[in-house]
Amino acid sequence: MPVTNIDKNAEKSVTETSFLSARKMPSEPWMWFFILGDMSIFAIFFGAYLWKLGANRDVFIGEAASLVLSLGLFNTLVLLTSSYTVARAVHAYRQGDDALTRTMLGWSLLAAAIFIGTKVVEYSMELADGHGLTTSAFFMYYFVLTGLHLLHVFIGSIFLFNWRLSLSGKTLECDLHSHSRAEGIAGYWHMVDLLWLLIFAFIYIGSSS
Amino acid sequence: MNPSVRRINIVYFCLVAITILSVGLTTDMAHSLFSARTVAGMAAILAFIKARYVMLEFMELRGTLMQRVFDCWLLIACLASMLLAFR
């Protein structure tokens, strides 16, 4: 059967409809490219770490044995939970449920505080054992990667705190009310979670003995 | 319960389950079965699976145009990690 112009137009229309029916992207494209850029910086560190791990596997495995796996696991579960509560906060925010949004963000902030507190305890234990930034290649990567990540947790917590504060009407930054801004903050926090999942896998599990 | 909230709940429990499962790679049994390279590679694969879940469901990029960009990033990073882990 010959293909008519009507068929071609119908096919084109379906293709265009499929393209346009792609789900609406949360936040703005620039925010996602910023997040990708940030993740790429970490990826360079991950690559360098794995390169060194391959070259000095026995040494790295020996030094990683002094890390407290249970604290790493605990922090991973804490950060996963905070990511979950932020995702719930976004849903509640879209539905206009400010009370639930505040509650969920409160849990997220509590989880962030627990994460930071646990990390400080872990750093104190390592320093007490004589492991510092300049002790060895392994501990240099450990402190730089986890320290850089901790900085992101701190920055993300400030964003979350500002978002929560804006719900209470205690700030003049009215643009924080916009959904796009809230989705951007949530996206940043999920990136922090995603990066920790990789750090935990590379440093705590991948280098275990 | 809202279907999207139910979905987030399921994803959260899956992520917790995979995390606890991955800790099994640090046990003596895992080290007697696999080499250190294999353990590092398996840990990386599980981490990238979790990362993709976070990207699709928590970041809500499933079905959006940005999903392809993030999928490419995760695939390249995962393959590079595999190459380096098994080096």
What pLDDT, in 10s, does the model give residues A109-145? 999 999 999 999 999 999 999 999 999 999 999 999 9
**B28-83 pLDDT per residue, tens:** 899 899 998 999 999 999 999 999 999 999 999 999 999 999 999 999 999 999 99
Q: Which residue on chain A is closest to B28 by alpha carbon? A: A209
Distance from CA of A108 to the nearest CA of B (A): 14
Residue A177 has a pLDDT of 52
CA–CA gap between residue A72 and residue A77 (Å, rounded): 9
Q: Which of A69, A198, A206 sits opposite B85 (nearest CB)?
A: A206
Q: What is the 3-state secondary structure (H, E, C) of B42-84?
A: HHHHHHHHHHHHHHHHHCCCCCCHHHHHHHHHHHHHHHHHHHH
Task: Look at B8 and A91 and tell me if their CB atoms are within 8 Å.
Answer: yes
Task: Look at A209 and B77 and tell me if their CB atoms are within 8 Å.
Answer: no
DSSP string computed for A113-137: HHHHHHHHHHHHHHHHTT--TTT-H
B chain contacts of residue A29, beta-carbon cutoff 8 Å: 66
Task: Look at B39 and A205 and tell me if their CB atoms are within 8 Å.
Answer: yes
Q: Which residue on chain B is closest to A42 by alpha carbon? A: B77
Q: Which of B31, B36, B63 sits opposite A23 (nearest CB)?
A: B63
Contact A80, B16 (CB under 8 A): yes
pLDDT in tens, chain A (209 residues): 454 555 555 554 444 444 444 678 888 889 999 999 999 999 999 999 999 999 999 999 999 999 999 999 999 999 999 999 999 999 999 888 999 999 999 999 999 999 999 999 999 999 999 999 999 999 999 999 999 999 999 999 999 999 999 887 655 454 545 788 999 999 999 999 999 999 999 999 988 76
Residue A172 has a pLDDT of 47
Q: Which of B43, B59, B77 sits opposite A187 (nearest CB)?
A: B59
- Lookup: tokens for A140: 């240099």
